[in-house]
């Protein structure tokens, strides 16, 4: 076994001599001679025999040899001069973030645990807790998470915060490891208790729809107009939620008959293709027997209707209903206790 180890040691030493010889050739005679002056004569003789065996090196080979040599020198020097934080910082400056991260993980296996508590929380909760923190610090924390985890949290920020953090992320370059450790410790102390607090889901849209269902038409219009002034897309979303095609059952028979007078028959056929039975029955009972039979036949005859086409047909009918209500032609039934306008 000892002979095997000795043989392995000799092979490693020979490989090292070959590498040093390659570096000397890549450096050129003038710079190589300056290095050789400081070496023992016996080693110079050994290296000379190795360099003699190397005939020519291409430009790419020279670059690769010198790059590896420089990285080795830098790494050894850093470990001697500045300790681990300094080493990681300067490795990033010297070798680039990706290569430095690989070396840092080997030197400091615990570094991947920094800010891990952010990824362990749900993205929505993490974003909510981080929203009040300076964007520069948030960006630094997200930079230490796996890209997929950071992306989930970033996506949950409000648009302005999202853009600001993204800009800070893009501009990150060199940060001393001590700074990262301090921020991690600060976040761990202040934010982890918040991340662990139970969060209740609260559907604001559903609540608003319920409130408006219990309000008068005038109140509903006033609220929607005010919302529209600030955010038209949100106002449209609320309108869509206030009355869906399934809410057709909230109309009395007279109102349904008024709707049937003005809607496109083709839209009605497509809209009823996958409608709830209760909705279909509300329509059928307001048609004559002959019209009902014809409509049922057309619905059965229609095949391969896309869900998108069904949704669009239902929306067109809902738009007609909303317009008829706005004109005062029909009235949509509201919850008991409506503040009915005088």
Complete DSSP assignment for 240-284: HHHS-GGGGGGS-HHHHHHHHHHS-HHHHHHHTTT--HHHHHHHH
The predicted model scores a pTM of: 0.41
Per the listing, tokens 């690769």 go with 64
Per the listing, tokens 């709830």 go with 276
Q: Which tokens sit at 101? A: 């991260």
Contact 95, 103 (CB under 8 A): yes
Instruction: Count, in order, helices (H) and strands (E) of the chain.
Output: 20, 0
Closest C-alpha to 272, from 293, 302, 252, 251: 302
Strands (E), 275-327: none
- Cα-to-chain-centroid distance, residue 28: 51
**What burial class does residue 259 get, using C-beta atoms within 10 Å of its C-beta: 0-12 exposed, 13-18 middle, 19+ buried?**
buried
Distance separating alpha carbons of residues 16 and 10, to the nearest angstrom: 10
Give phi and psi for 223, each to the nearest 5. Answer: -65, -45
- Cα-to-chain-centroid distance, residue 69: 40
Distance separating alpha carbons of residues 220 and 321, to the nearest angstrom: 15
For the four alpha carbons of 264, 265, 266 and 268, in that order, the dihedral sign comes to positive
Element (H, E) at 81: helix 59-81
How many other CB atoms are found less than 10 A from the CB of residue 114?
20
Element (H, E) at 138: helix 135-142
Q: Which tokens sit at 83? A: 């300790």
Q: How far from 253 is each of 176, 195, 221, CA to CA, in Å?
A: 73, 53, 24
Please give the domain boundaries of the chain with CATH numbers for all domains: 2-108 (no CATH), 114-195 (1.10.220.30), 243-327 (1.10.220.30)
Q: How far from 201 is each of 100, 125, 206, 325, CA to CA, in Å?
A: 41, 11, 12, 34
What contacts 265, CB < 8 A, 6 or more positions away? 295, 298
Distance separating alpha carbons of residues 134 and 129, to the nearest angstrom: 12
Closest C-alpha to 246, from 279, 289, 287: 279
pLDDT in tens, the chain (342 residues): 444 434 444 555 566 667 777 776 766 777 667 766 766 677 667 767 776 776 666 766 666 666 666 555 544 444 444 444 455 566 666 667 667 666 666 655 555 568 888 988 889 889 999 998 999 999 999 988 888 889 999 999 988 888 889 888 888 877 777 788 889 889 988 888 888 766 554 566 777 777 877 777 788 888 888 888 888 888 888 888 888 888 888 899 999 999 999 999 999 999 998 889 999 999 999 999 999 999 999 998 888 888 899 999 999 999 999 889 888 898 887 665 444 444
Task: DSSP letter for 109, please.
Answer: G
Per the listing, tokens 């998470």 go with 145
**What was the pLDDT predicted at 69?**
61
Contact 270, 309 (CB under 8 A): yes
């Amino acid at each position: 076994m000892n002979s095997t180890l000795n043989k392995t040691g000799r092979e490693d030493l020979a490989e090292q001599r070959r590498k040093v010889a390659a570096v000397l050739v890549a450096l050129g005679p003038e710079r190589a001679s300056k290095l050789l002056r400081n070496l023992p004569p016996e080693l110079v003789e050994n290296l000379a025999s190795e360099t003699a065996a190397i005939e020519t090196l291409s430009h790419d080979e020279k670059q690769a040899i010198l790059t590896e040599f420089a990285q080795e020198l830098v790494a050894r020097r850093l470990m001697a001069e500045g300790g681990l934080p300094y080493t990681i910082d300067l490795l990033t400056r010297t070798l680039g973030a990706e290569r430095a991260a690989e070396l840092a993980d080997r030197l400091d296996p615990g570094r991947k645990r920094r800010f891990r508590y952010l990824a362990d929380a749900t993205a929505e909760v993490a974003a909510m807790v981080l929203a009040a923190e300076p964007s520069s610090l948030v960006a630094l924390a997200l930079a230490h998470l796996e890209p997929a985890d950071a992306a989930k949290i970033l996506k949950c920020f409000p648009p302005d915060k999202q853009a600001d953090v993204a800009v800070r992320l893009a501009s990150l370059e060199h940060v001393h490891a001590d700074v990262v450790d301090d921020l991690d410790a600060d976040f761990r102390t202040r934010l982890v208790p918040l991340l662990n607090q139970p969060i209740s889901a609260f559907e604001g849209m559903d609540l608003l729809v319920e409130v408006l269902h219990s309000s008068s038409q005038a109140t509903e219009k006033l609220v929607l107009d005010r919302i529209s002034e600030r955010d038209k897309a949100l106002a449209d979303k609320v309108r869509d939620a206030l009355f869906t095609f399934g809410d057709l059952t909230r109309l009395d028979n007279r109102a349904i008959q008024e709707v049937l007078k003005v809607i496109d028959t083709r839209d009605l056929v497509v809209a009823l293709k996958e409608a709830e039975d209760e909705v279909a029955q509300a329509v059928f009972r307001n048609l004559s027997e002959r019209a009902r039979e014809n409509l049922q036949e057309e619905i059965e005859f229609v095949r391969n209707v896309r869900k998108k086409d069904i949704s669009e047909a239902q929306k067109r009918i809902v738009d007609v209903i909303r317009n008829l209500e706005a004109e005062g032609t029909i009235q949509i039934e509201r919850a008991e206790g409506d503040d009915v306008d005088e």
